[in-house]
Structure 1
């Protein structure tokens, strides 16, 4: 039995969320220990298979680390409006720290699937050998000629 973590920005509906849940369901049906991690609140799907569901504790982390919280607020209010396609630069550092703290408090995972453009932008810098990044119909590519 493998311990597998599936990460996406939320589970509010949409293609990447459905793909993530379908894949997680398959692995759970094969007898694996599956955990779902949303980077933000939102669960519109029925979890009809055995799994753990967590939301990354962003607010709690920022309350415990007020300087990082101020930086994150500055990013949310100003930087992302000035540089709209640069979430990976400004938010990636903060999400990496929060994810690593979350990860340290979990039993080790055999595989981590990070799905979708938003999740990749936020967690692109984690350096874990078991992490696999997956991009399905990226919105960035769709906008190009």
Structure 2
């Protein structure tokens, strides 16, 4: 009986590709579910210079905001590795948040998809810490997820 319950509870995670993530140090809220390239266990394998698609579902805004700005941070042993977000993806209201969602009201629930084309990283074969988040027009952190990624050649 317990094995059946365990199996039933794990199947949706495997089907949906739910990625285990951590809260960012900035304390921003987490989406209800996250899927990063179908990763279901950390570290997530990320192919160097290949697209990264991350879906955050059921994000609850802690503030009213007219805009949402996307950001990505990549760290190796505490040192920041350059990983600029393409200019066309910085405005999350224009690229990533469902059209018509912005402006966002406090308590509003929305989804966000980051469809990053990928880029050549100066390091491969290592595990890095990645943060992906959205910031409100007043600088408040709306949401942020942290996860470990192994950069593959």
Higher strand proportion: 2
Higher relative contact order (CA 8 A, sep 6+): 2
| TM-score clears 0.5 | no
- TM-score (norm: length of structure 1): 0.26
- TM-score (norm: length of structure 2): 0.26
